[in-house]
Amino acid sequence: MHSLLDQHPRASLGFFPTPLMNLQRLSQHLGGPRILMKRDDQSGLALGGNKTRKLEYLVGAAIAAGCDTLITGGATQSNHCRQTAAAAAASGLECHLVLGGEAPPTAQGNLLLDQLLGAHIHWSGEWRKGEQMPQIADRLRAKGRNPYFIPYGGSSATGALGYVHAAAELKTQLDNLDQRISHMLFASSSGGTQAGLIVGAHQAGLNCQVIGIRIDKEEDADTPYAERLRTLTNETAALFGIDQRFDADAITLQERFTGQGYGVVGDTERNAIGLLARTEGILLDPVYTGRAMGGLLRLIDEGVFGPDDTLLFWHTGGAPTLFPYADALLDKPH
């Protein structure tokens, strides 16, 4: 499998493999099942997260194409934008970020880090998903730069190769422990993580259910998320270089946990973040992993999994946003 991935240029940006741990205290607290956690929050690039794996292939492609500038976009507190800023700095590239909203009076969390990492920030008001990137790319080209365009969340087929690689990495770790998993679960938003894991789990023979817990409530396109995800999955399979194509049955999504919408913290997130912090000393994040773990806890509660199942949760990062969300995270005012 690695020989297929080796055909794609890859920049070395993180520390891999990321740790695989057994959440024994959490399982005990819940009365089962067994829960493993893959610590992609510890990927090592400027506070880590799942975008590091995608950026290894995206920056590899940018450098191979002779580009000197990365451009991407997202929300004010985007983990993807912060990791892109760090990837650019580590690779000697210029970085332009198109962020939704207006410049706040003080920069906190990821926005603070974007600035420390030397990114150029363009505020785009109500556009939260980098819709204005093409115009900014045109302006950069007029100034003689050669920008590489990274889509929202780094979720192109090139970026998703990072999670094809991650699935192979996980398979090796599980084999070394003589361990099998029945289900893997993770936050799913722009889709690159899920697309890569579907292709990678198939290729590595992980033989488990791949379940994305959807984060975004709103449909922002004419095409439903599951359908866009299937397209991205098949583009990823084609780019990776296998003949296998995936039909709608291969896309498993839990879309019931989107609460009040993207980035709005409710009881689901607050409770999951508190429980993991107190039982395991692990910090989840308010936007993605808090919601995904909240969904996982609910599924356990509903009896979806059997006592012999082993679940694997991908911790995809995001802890820098705990600070800007401080008020929403504590149920009592301080």
Ligand X SMILES: *Cc1c(COP(=O)(O)O)cnc(C)c1O
Minimum Å distance from CB 130 to ligand X? 13
Q: Is 291 in the site for ligand X (CB under 6 A)?
A: no
Nearer to ligand X, 140 or 170 (CB): 170
**Under DSSP, is residue 198 helix (H, G, I), strand (E, B) or coil?**
helix
Q: What is the distance between the alpha carbons of residues 227 and 248, in angstroms, rounded to a whole number?
A: 8
Nearer to ligand X, 140 or 272 (CB): 272
Give the start-end residues of each E strand in 115-201. Answer: 120-123, 147-149, 183-188
**Binding test (CB under 6 A) with ligand X, winner from 27, 188, 233, 310:** 188
**Binding test (CB under 6 A) with ligand X, winner from 155, 203, 234, 236:** 155
Minimum Å distance from CB 131 to ligand X? 16
Q: For residue 130, which of 154, 159, 103, 158 has the smallest C-alpha distance? A: 154
Count of positions on this chain that bind ligand X (CB under 6 A): 20
Q: For residue 292, which of 229, 175, 212 has the smallest C-alpha distance? A: 212
Q: For residue 140, which of 67, 87, 82, 91 has the smallest C-alpha distance? A: 67
**Binding test (CB under 6 A) with ligand X, winner from 94, 316, 324, 325:** 316
Q: Is 49 in the site for ligand X (CB under 6 A)?
A: yes
Q: What is the distance between the alpha carbons of residues 101 and 73, in angstroms, rounded to a whole number?
A: 12
Residue 306 near residue 32 (C-beta atoms within 8 A): no
Q: Which two structure tokens, joined as six digits, stand for 148?
A: 């590489």
Nearer to ligand X, 49 or 109 (CB): 49
Q: What is the distance between the alpha carbons of residues 71 and 149, in angstroms, rounded to a whole number?
A: 5
**Binding test (CB under 6 A) with ligand X, winner from 84, 110, 189, 310:** 189
**Binding test (CB under 6 A) with ligand X, winner from 48, 109, 153, 320:** 153
Minimum Å distance from CB 140 to ligand X? 24
Q: What is the distance between the alpha carbons of residues 6 and 212, in angstroms, rounded to a whole number?
A: 27
Q: What is the distance between the alpha carbons of residues 311 and 35, in angstroms, rounded to a whole number?
A: 5
Q: Is 130 in the site for ligand X (CB under 6 A)?
A: no
Nearby residues of 231 by Cβ (< 8 Å), 6 or more positions away: none
Q: Give me the 271-290 binding string for ligand X, x by CB under 6 A, dash otherwise.
A: --------------x--xx-
Nearer to ligand X, 188 or 233 (CB): 188
Distance of CA 110 to the CA centre of its chain: 15
Place of tokens 């990114």: 119
**Under DSSP, is residue 330 helix (H, G, I), strand (E, B) or coil?**
coil
**Binding test (CB under 6 A) with ligand X, winner from 191, 263, 290, 320:** 191
Backbone angles phi, psi at 128, to 5 degrees: -105, -10
Q: Annotated catalytic sites, by residue?
A: 78
**Binding test (CB under 6 A) with ligand X, winner from 69, 124, 193, 234:** 193
Minimum Å distance from CB 187 to ligand X? 4
Q: Is 313 in the site for ligand X (CB under 6 A)?
A: no
Q: Is 233 in the site for ligand X (CB under 6 A)?
A: no
Q: Is 192 in the site for ligand X (CB under 6 A)?
A: yes
**Binding test (CB under 6 A) with ligand X, winner from 43, 52, 76, 79:** 79
Q: Is 162 in the site for ligand X (CB under 6 A)?
A: no
Binding site for ligand X (CB under 6 A): 49-50, 79-80, 153, 155, 187-194, 285, 288-289, 316-318
